[in-house]
Amino acid sequence: MKLYSKYLIVLIAVFSFSIIMPYFYSIIFIENTSKDFVYYSEIIDDFAVSTFTQNRSFIYRDKAGNTYTEKEFKQILPQVYVRDLVLTNSYSEIINNRIISAEDMIKYNFYLSARAKNIDEERIRIKLSPVFETQSGSANLTMPVDLARIGKDITFINARTREIDKEKSEHFTNELINKGFTFPVKLYGTNPDVRKPYDVGTFLLDKNNTLFRLYMVKGKPVVEKYNTNISNEEIIYISIRENKYADFYGFMIAKSGNIFLININHTLSKITVDNYNPNKDTMRININPLHILLNISTDKYQYTYIYDKNYNLLKSYSLDIESSLSGYRLDIYNMLFPFSIYHDAYSAAGYLKIEKTENLLLSAVFIIFLLCIYIVICRYFKSISKTTVIDIFVIALSGIYGFTALILLQNFKKDTLWE
């Protein structure tokens, strides 16, 4: 029983240390780093970069290395600073030989984004969503009393009584089947928020990777099929964001990194992207009257792509991302901690993640060093016992976490506690 108690305590200690040690190391040795915001200027026909420096000030420049004052920088980026330019009466409606009013620049300027955590949350998402009444006769959307469980069929469950509305469930399920939908649902996307200008409904991918739109009009289901071929793509995320000025409902992300805008005319617009891993990177899109800007942020690089209105790639630009832990501080971090556990506080899922070291060889060498130190200590205090082999195995797997736990728990005066 004592042996079991020992290693239960060691297991708890290893788990705790793998959270606490990397956290405090980062707090002590983390450095303020500069952050770059990359745009594209139609006026100078070049990429423009705003850098937030370590001393909390901004530097404005373009790809060619020319520097700008804050006022000059705003003037070459009317799609970003249109409100500031209007406020100072310095907005020009003629941009690159095109007439674009300030009102249109504001109305038709859209931002879309997705982080890796959004993809993670999709995997553990509870498959319950509201289906709004789109013609309720009210200016505001109302949260329905029932929720749709979307999976092998469409099942409506009363949120108050938890009873299933069989008639409504069969009606919606059959309407999808009649329109060519093949269950089960692979993936779906909706915007379950009443604070939006209107409801576009729910977009569902069926077993055959065909996209359908489902919405409700006066209590009855309406199904629309998107006649597009995406059978060769594995869609892993669907985001719906209604905007009354946009000509699209949302977007989908494929495992390959390609992005598909879901247009209101029942088509998909494909944006082909290089260097994008949706499971690790952050994606941001700005669609404005001048161009389409796509920004991909990885651990080490920031890639920016410019597309025309037909989604043809025009230009690209990449920048190195300066790590908050760099140089010898990062090397020591990777050596000390073979893995770390952290809580994703910004995730709605709120679960723990494990991050392994970036330098397995250096970490392995340090673990061997710890093993040697532990054996020397045990021999010095004559505390080598039948459990020492297990201790060595624990240190080999957990590194400094297991080493620290065993050192703190060991009785070096007389090894009787853990025998």
Q: Which domain holds residue 172?
A: 112-287
Both 310 and 403 in one domain: the answer is no
* End-to-end Cα spacing for the chain: 10
Both 257 and 361 in one domain: the answer is no
Sign of CA dihedral 46, 47, 53, 57: positive
Contact between 59 and 37 (Cβ < 8 Å): no
> What pairs with residue 230 in β-bridges?
none
138 falls within a domain: yes
213 falls within a domain: yes
Please give the torsion angle defined by the CA atoms of residues 85, 86, 91 and 94, in that order, rounded to the nearest 10 degrees.
140
Domain count, the chain: 3
Contact between 154 and 148 (Cβ < 8 Å): yes
Report residue 28 as tokens: 């002590």
- Long-range pairs, 216-222, Cβ under 8 A, ≥24: 216/131, 216/132, 216/133, 216/134, 217/133, 217/134, 217/135, 218/133, 218/135, 219/133, 220/171, 221/171, 221/172, 221/175, 221/176, 222/175
Both 20 and 38 in one domain: the answer is no
Both 74 and 151 in one domain: the answer is no
Both 161 and 231 in one domain: the answer is yes
Both 117 and 105 in one domain: the answer is no
Report residue 237 as tokens: 């995320």
415 falls within a domain: no
* SS3 (DSSP) at 265: coil
Both 141 and 195 in one domain: the answer is yes
131 falls within a domain: yes
Give the whole-angstrom CA distance, residue 85 versus residue 94.
13
417 falls within a domain: no
Tell which phi-psi region holds residue 350, choosing left (phi > 0), alpha (psi between -120 and 50) or beta.
Answer: left
Report residue 338 as tokens: 């073979």
Both 149 and 258 in one domain: the answer is yes
Both 11 and 148 in one domain: the answer is no
Both 311 and 360 in one domain: the answer is no
350 falls within a domain: yes
Both 24 and 165 in one domain: the answer is no
Query: Would you give per-residue pLDDT tens digits along the chain (419 residues)?
Result: 567 788 888 999 999 999 999 988 888 877 666 789 999 999 999 999 999 887 778 999 999 999 999 999 999 999 999 999 999 999 999 998 899 999 999 999 999 999 988 888 877 777 899 999 988 777 788 899 999 999 999 999 998 999 999 999 999 999 999 999 999 999 999 999 999 999 999 999 999 999 999 999 999 999 999 988 788 899 999 999 999 999 999 999 999 999 999 999 999 999 999 899 999 999 999 999 999 999 999 988 999 999 999 999 999 999 988 766 667 888 888 999 999 987 654 444 456 778 888 889 999 999 999 999 998 988 887 777 778 888 999 999 999 999 999 988 876 554 443 44
